[in-house]
Chains A and B, each alone.
Chain A
Amino acid sequence: MSHSINTSRRRFVSSSAAITAATFLPFNAWSQQSSVFRLGALNSITGVGGPYGPAMLESIRIAVDEVNAAGGAAGRRIELFAEDDQTKPDAAVLAVKKLIEINRVEAVVGIWPSSVGLAVMPITNNAGLIMMNTCGAPEMQVENKRGLAWMFQASNAVFGRAFAQIARQRGFKRPAVMAFNNSTFVGLANYFKETWEAEGGKVTDLVIYEPNQTSYRTELNRVLATKPDIIALGSYRPDATIILKEWFQTGQDCSFIMPGWTANEGLVEAIGKEATEGIISVSNVAANEHPAYKSYAERFRAKLKRDPDVFAAQSYDMVITLALAIEAAGAQAGPIDVNSKIRDVTGQDGDRIDSFVQGRDAIKAGKKINYEGASSKLIFNDRGATVPDFGVSEIRNGKLVLKETVAGSA
């Protein structure tokens, strides 16, 4: 009997040693030979991102279907695993760990808010995974030390500059700035001030306010006392609702320029047509003229019966860009190799292509390619960020009316 105990003990030791060794292997070692590319979608389905998340996930599905219908990328079918981050960093961390540890994904796409992006990036970086997002906090670019994160939406530094340029073009002379106290909006406020004062002139006042208050009247009165002709307002919808309500009540004449994810029909619904009339709303807009957009938008409309917003178009581009990079890296490539091909498939010196199939055939023919996406031209800077075109809209009678488009990164 003692003999059998010995063998089982030996077996136990050897098998546990094997298991221990296996857990130390990086994830990509598991998937090297796999004929499937495991893709994680981390979207803000519920919470503040709720208006955007579901359409982003649908766009990711549209792109995955496109790639799989064409026989996969480098012969690898894309398998999608979707999770909801509830627009909260804590929920996002749990969800991304599940995607990495249980679903063993090789890339995570579709991350919407910067709070989630900044929380998730250390985890994807440690696991050596590609992470594609629409986050706007300037810190995203600073933290992107391994070059594995890709920002498909303009940073708020760029937004701040764009706000200043648009306000100047429209003939405003005395701007003031009010911003919510977080990295996103303080960044926007400071870049606005910097850009405005670099081109001459002064910002009458810059007020950073504390979030979660029930009234911002004193802060607002302080700004209004400097008699600005326009206020650059970096706010989310709840605080913007209170501030605009209180501004309207004062009766003082003043214009507002705001980011498009706050100044939209939802804001009109909250405070009515009268108080929102004439607000200038600046947002990234999809590349409506690109063939990639037209083909994608048609499929999107067939499913959701409306036009895609810019975040949805960005999500579609994430998957197509990734698929082209997989194609370029070859069937045996792990995430790091795929990642290194992302710049190659969006490089400006390649042949312009507008769809996955077109790009795949060009790669097979040994050509350099440049994917011009549905959301933008996808020109990534050295920190992995791109700048889509800006749409300048005005709220007129409760509806957003597009006035002009300003080119993004050239």
Chain B
Amino acid sequence: MDAVAIINAAINGIVIGTLMALPVLAITMVFGIARFPNAAAGDYMTLGAYTAIAVQTFLSSSLVLGVLAACLVTALVSVFFYLWVFRTLESRSNISRLIASIGVAFVVRNTITFFAGQDQYNLDVPLVRAWNFDGIRILPTDLYIMAIAIGALALVFYVLHGTPLGRRMRAVADNPDLAAVSGIRSRRVMLYLWVLCGVFCGLGGVLLGIKAVVVPELGFELLMPMFAAVILGGIGNPLGAVIGTLLFSVSQEIASLYVGPAYKIVMAFLVLLLVLLFRPQGIFGRVMAAR
């Protein structure tokens, strides 16, 4: 396989990986702080993409407005389900919250199909040709998507490590009881967390909708690879989520050059397997001692 093909595959993997890092980060943070795998994340993405479609259909053709509306609506829905479902189940085991989140996923998806039907939608974005550097192709649209995704990631890392809110979030993630004793109001931290989860899933959904087509299964189909990326990076670790997603999607794209495309997801899981063999806690995960 020549170098150009590998570089193109890697570029494609990096673009998709950066984009997917947004919802994966949301999943890993919900896991770190609310302590359960949120299976509704995929359908929050779908909701974001459909919100942008709705804005383009009924309000204005502006994509910026669509993206903002998607983030807002998904954040509201995410907070709504926190207040209605996940807060009530806070004291239950994480399995019951996982099951509840699967239920939330169904509710979101079926509400979407009730109004929008099963047929595909497309976000109205002008088609442009890629820049061609001796066979290495770079798409202007991809650069915008990357810029937005990296900007959002930078913002969240700044919030986490540079603001009092981030410190409180990390404190709750480390030890909720100690955080409560230290006077941190975990309710407010949780609200911020779910807003962030909604915004990131919604944003990821719209960006994905721009690249692909908007169908009711858009986000749900990605749930398994996203969970795998969370595990690869180390559960609950934000930086790990980003690195894990990038590694996962780049290895998927490069693998499909060598094995049949039908096996590309298998190869990505093989990478996951290898990493976990040598680092069972994931790339950035901490070793958790069990007593």
Please tell me if the beta carbons of B257 and A222 are within 8 angstroms of each other in the complex.
Answer: yes
Q: A222-B256, A245-B127, A249-B128 are in contact. Are A237 and B212 (CB under 8 A)?
A: no
Please tell me if the beta carbons of A270 and B122 are within 8 angstroms of each other in the complex.
Answer: yes
Alpha-carbon gap, A49 to B70, bound state (A): 29
B-contact bits for A217-261, CB 8 A (1 contact / 0 none): 111011001000000000001100110010011110000000000
Indicate if B147 sits at the interface (CB-CB under 8 A): no
Alpha-carbon gap, A272 to B123, bound state (A): 12
Indicate if B134 sits at the interface (CB-CB under 8 A): no
Please tell me if the beta carbons of A242 and B9 are within 8 angstroms of each other in the complex.
Answer: no
Please tell me if the beta carbons of A248 and B127 are within 8 angstroms of each other in the complex.
Answer: yes
Q: A210-B261, A212-B217, A219-B256 are in contact. Are A251 and B129 (CB under 8 A)?
A: yes
Please tell me if the beta carbons of B265 and A238 are within 8 angstroms of each other in the complex.
Answer: no
Please tell me if the beta carbons of A238 and B120 are within 8 angstroms of each other in the complex.
Answer: yes
Q: For residue A210, which residues in chain B have a CB less than 8 angstroms away from its CB?
A: 261-262, 264-265
Alpha-carbon gap, A155 to B57, bound state (A): 38
Q: A48-B118, A215-B12 are in contact. Are A270 and B127 (CB under 8 A)?
A: no
Task: Tell which of B9, B118, B132 touches A218, judged by Cβ atoms closer than 8 Å.
Answer: B9
Alpha-carbon gap, A116 to B253, bound state (A): 33
Task: Tell which of A50, A217, A250 touches B118, judged by Cβ atoms closer than 8 Å.
Answer: A50
Cβ of B49 to closest chain A Cβ, rounded Å: 11
Alpha-carbon gap, A46 to B132, bound state (A): 43
A71-116 contacts to B, CB under 8 A, are 87
Q: For residue B90, which residues in chain A have a CB less than 8 angstroms away from its CB?
A: none
Cβ of B144 to closest chain A Cβ, rounded Å: 13
Q: For residue A274, which residues in chain B have a CB less than 8 angstroms away from its CB?
A: 127
Please tell me if the beta carbons of B257 and A46 are within 8 angstroms of each other in the complex.
Answer: no
B250-270 contacts to A, CB under 8 A, are 253, 256-257, 260-262, 264-265
B-contact bits for A123-142, CB 8 A (1 contact / 0 none): 00000000000000000000
Please tell me if the beta carbons of A218 and B119 are within 8 angstroms of each other in the complex.
Answer: no
Q: For residue B221, which residues in chain A have a CB less than 8 angstroms away from its CB?
A: 212
Task: Tell which of A87, A212, A218, A245 touches B253, judged by Cβ atoms closer than 8 Å.
Answer: A218
Alpha-carbon gap, A274 to B128, bound state (A): 11
Q: A215-B212, A241-B122, A272-B127 are in contact. Are A225 and B5 (CB under 8 A)?
A: yes
Alpha-carbon gap, A119 to B222, bound state (A): 27
Q: For residue B5, which residues in chain A have a CB less than 8 angstroms away from its CB?
A: 221-222, 225
Q: For residue A250, which residues in chain B have a CB less than 8 angstroms away from its CB?
A: 129-130, 137
Alpha-carbon gap, A370 to B279, bound state (A): 73
A-contact bits for B229-263, CB 8 A (1 contact / 0 none): 00000000000000000000000010011001110
Q: For residue A47, which residues in chain B have a CB less than 8 angstroms away from its CB?
A: 118
Interface range for B: 35 or more
Closest to B131 in A: A251
Alpha-carbon gap, A88 to B93, bound state (A): 36
Alpha-carbon gap, A221 to B7, bound state (A): 11
Q: For residue B222, which residues in chain A have a CB less than 8 angstroms away from its CB?
A: 214
Indicate if A363 sits at the interface (CB-CB under 8 A): no
Please tell me if the beta carbons of A214 and B261 are within 8 angstroms of each other in the complex.
Answer: no
Cβ of B108 to closest chain A Cβ, rounded Å: 18
Indicate if A181 sits at the interface (CB-CB under 8 A): yes
Indicate if B211 sits at the interface (CB-CB under 8 A): yes
B1-34 contacts to A, CB under 8 A, are 5, 8-9, 12, 16
Cβ of A72 to closest chain B Cβ, rounded Å: 38
Alpha-carbon gap, A271 to B132, bound state (A): 22
Please tell me if the beta carbons of B208 and A214 are within 8 angstroms of each other in the complex.
Answer: yes
Please tell me if the beta carbons of B120 and A237 are within 8 angstroms of each other in the complex.
Answer: yes
B65-117 contacts to A, CB under 8 A, are 117
Please tell me if the beta carbons of A217 and B127 are within 8 angstroms of each other in the complex.
Answer: no
Closest to B126 in A: A272
A190-230 contacts to B, CB under 8 A, are 207-210, 212-215, 217-219, 221-222, 225
Indicate if A336 sits at the interface (CB-CB under 8 A): no
Q: For residue B122, which residues in chain A have a CB less than 8 angstroms away from its CB?
A: 241, 269-271
Please tell me if the beta carbons of A50 and B261 are within 8 angstroms of each other in the complex.
Answer: no
Task: Tell which of A50, A213, A225, A271 touches B127, judged by Cβ atoms closer than 8 Å.
Answer: A271
Q: For residue B215, which residues in chain A have a CB less than 8 angstroms away from its CB?
A: 238
Q: For residue A249, which residues in chain B have a CB less than 8 angstroms away from its CB?
A: 127-130, 137, 139, 141
Alpha-carbon gap, A238 to B217, bound state (A): 11
Indicate if A275 sits at the interface (CB-CB under 8 A): yes
Indicate if B213 sits at the interface (CB-CB under 8 A): yes
Q: For residue A225, which residues in chain B have a CB less than 8 angstroms away from its CB?
A: 5
Please tell me if the beta carbons of A241 and B120 are within 8 angstroms of each other in the complex.
Answer: yes
Cβ of A71 to closest chain B Cβ, rounded Å: 41
Please tell me if the beta carbons of A48 and B9 are within 8 angstroms of each other in the complex.
Answer: no
Please tell me if the beta carbons of A217 and B12 are within 8 angstroms of each other in the complex.
Answer: yes
Q: For residue B118, which residues in chain A have a CB less than 8 angstroms away from its CB?
A: 46-48, 50, 87
Closest to B2 in A: A225
Q: For residue A48, which residues in chain B have a CB less than 8 angstroms away from its CB?
A: 118-119
Alpha-carbon gap, A272 to B128, bound state (A): 12
Alpha-carbon gap, A237 to B214, bound state (A): 12
Max chain B CB contacts within 10 Å: which of A218, A225, A275? Answer: A218
Max chain B CB contacts within 10 Å: which of A212, A238, A242? Answer: A238
Which A residues are within 8 Å of any B CB, using their own CB? 46-48, 50, 87, 181, 207-210, 212-215, 217-219, 221-222, 225, 237-238, 241-242, 245, 248-251, 269-272, 274-275
In the complex, 6 of the A-B residue pairs with CB atoms within 8 angstroms, ordered by the A residue number, are A46-B117, A212-B217, A218-B256, A222-B5, A222-B261, A251-B129
Which B residues are within 8 Å of any A CB, using their own CB? 5, 8-9, 12, 16, 117-120, 122, 127-130, 132, 137, 139, 141, 208, 211-213, 215, 217-218, 221-222, 253, 256-257, 260-262, 264-265
